[in-house]
Amino acid sequence: MSDSVELSPVDLEILRLLQNDARVTNKDLAAAVGIAPSTCLDRVARLRDTGVITGQHASVDAAKLGRPLEAFLFVQVRPHRRPLVDPFIEHLLSLPEVRAVYHLTGPDDFLAHVATSSAGELQRLVLDELTARDEVARVHTNLVFQHWSGGPLLPPGT
Provide the pLDDT for residue 149.
87
Divide the 158 residues of the chain into consecutive groups of 10 and give the mean pLDDT of each group: 81 94 96 97 96 91 96 96 94 97 96 98 98 97 94 80
Pairing of strands 69-77, 136-144: antiparallel
The full set of domain ranges for the chain reads: 7-48, 60-142
pLDDT, position 158: 64
Task: Report whether CATH 3.40.50.11740 matches the domain 7-48.
Answer: no
| Confidence at residue 1, expressed as pLDDT on a 0 to 100 scale | 41
* pLDDT the model gives residue 4: 82
Angle, helices 37-49 vs 9-20, to 10°: value is 80
Is-same-fold flag (7-48; 60-142)?
Answer: no
CATH architecture of the region 60-142: 2-Layer Sandwich (3.30)
Calculate ∠ Cα 85-73-102, nearest 5°: 50
Nearest to 40 by CA among 28, 54, 50, 52: 28
Q: Which residues contact 137 (CB under 8 A, 6 or more apart)?
A: 76, 77, 78
